[in-house]
Chains A and B, each alone.
Chain A
Amino acid sequence: MSEAVITLQDIKKSYGKHRVLLGVDMQINRGDIYGLIGKNGCGKTTIFKIILGLSDYQSGRLTIGKEGTPLSEGRRKIGFFIGGNFFGYMSARENLEYYSALKKIKDKTEVERVLKIVEMDKAKGTYGEYSMGMKQRLGIANAILGNPEILILDEPVNGLDPQGIVDVRNLMQRLNTEYGMTIIVSSHILSELQHTAHRFGIVNNGVIAKVVTQEELAATKQIVKISVNDLENAVKALGEAGVTILGQSDDTASLEDYYFDLIKGDA
């Protein structure tokens, strides 16, 4: 059985009269890349804030690590990226040195190590002068500083160009496979998340409406690739045989289609 590293049980949260989370149940297992998806304002960031202790919740139960571990202790195992929390007048290295001190990291080479991982070790200038892609990568570098067991990434590919998106995707996969990090990631770019995550939690109407694995997602449509010498006649023959062609040129089921099918009527 998979070992749970983060468990949310019936978490409820309101901002005044606005109820955001109506009872979220979620389990993240060791080694997971868990994709959290949902429309804007559905509560994805609130879930992250609750896990990180940045936001309180009205009821429910949150466990980080083993049962009974104090939350403050559990949170020390988490590295996170929830936005560019850096000093604009400092360089990448200086910012990470600051956070390294906050995380009580004694190893002087750690900052250099993470800068190399995100390919920012040769970055010049201050944070305020960096491009969006550099800022995102520095955010991830900060998240992995100290080699945390769990990584929380909120919209890490926001504002990135296609190459930047691919770089972040490859980085996440490397961190998961090479460094054994458990990753929870949210993104609006579903097609991108589909390539990265093992499981997807779909947040809708204040709850995790569905959790689906890569395999389950792939099994929702049967897709067979056939090569024909006459496409027109092949399509005609299929039609005559009573076969409906649902789409063309997809080689895997799309997370985007699955998501929109699920929330149909709620949007």
Chain B
Amino acid sequence: MLWYMRADLRRISRRIPRLIVLALLYIALVTVLVSISREDVQIAPLMILCEHYVVGFLPLVIGTIEMAVILGDDFRAKIMQQAIGMGISRTKIVLTKLIDLACLMLVDIVVFGVLVFAANGVFHLGMGVDTVRELLLWLVGAWVKSVAYGSLSLILGFYSQNALFAILAFIALSSGIANKMLGMALGVKALSALHLGRFLLTSEINTFFTRALLGHFDIASLIVILVYIVGGAAAASWLFKNTELEL
């Protein structure tokens, strides 16, 4: 599995169009951050702006690109069929793709964080120690969201053997559309008394990191988040095992 992952990461990291798009996105996001923080820093704390306008978009904009490069080329060229024929199990393939996403997003978010801190130094955005701590936490939050949404999206991708479905699912989750729709569905009279809305993935991640900002460690939320991640990968693996592979 390690070899497969290394080969995959090496291939993806050399994908020139991906690097260009990521570079452009970084420039755009840092520009937005700098302009917002310079104009509105008196109106709202920098971190709220940062969380809402910049870090909140990381899973959606960068995560979607990474999902596309991880799954798109692979499904199109049916590379997984070769990997299975070489003796790599389907479970390992699903896990590899999820770990690929986790690694790439980690690198992307670290690069973004470095750029933000560099921008802070150059443009004097006024980040204090607390602000930096908050920013780091929200960056970790963005990473957890990306991995969790990715895990759930793999279910559709591996079931259909089509990257497009996984990417659409990822967009629905990371844009908040899926969360809003599920929230509405769980808000109907028959279900509202059960308060299931708080168990939605996005709600749990937000709860966990909001409490972490206040210095609390919410173990219950963490467990629910892990259940989503592990459950998503397990479901994708089970469905993939029971799917007839196209040649």
Contact = CB atoms under 8 A, between A and B. Distances in A.
Nearest to B82: A85
Nearest to B85: A52
Contact of B79 (A75, A87, A103): A87
A87 B70 CA distance: 12
B32 interface: no
Interface string B221-234: 00000000000000
Interface of B is mostly: helix
Contacts of A98: 7, 10-11
Nearest to B3: A104
Given A87-B11, A101-B3, A102-B7, A82 B85 contact: yes
B116 to A, nearest CB: 32
A256 B247 CA distance: 27
B244 interface: yes
Interface residues of A, number: 30
A76 B82 contact: no
Nearest to B4: A102
Interface in B45-87: 73, 76-79, 81-87
Contacts of B7: 98-99, 101-102
A159 interface: no
Interface of B: 3-4, 6-7, 10-11, 15, 73, 76-79, 81-89, 244-245, 247
Given A72-B89, A82-B81, 20 more contacts: A45-B247, A49-B247, A52-B84, A54-B81, A55-B244, A75-B86, A76-B87, A82-B247, A83-B78, A83-B247, A85-B81, A86-B77, A87-B79, A88-B77, A90-B11, A98-B7, A99-B7, A101-B4, A101-B6, A102-B86
**Which 8 residue pairs spanning A and B have beta carbons closest together?**
A101-B7, A52-B85, A75-B87, A72-B87, A76-B87, A85-B82, A54-B245, A85-B78
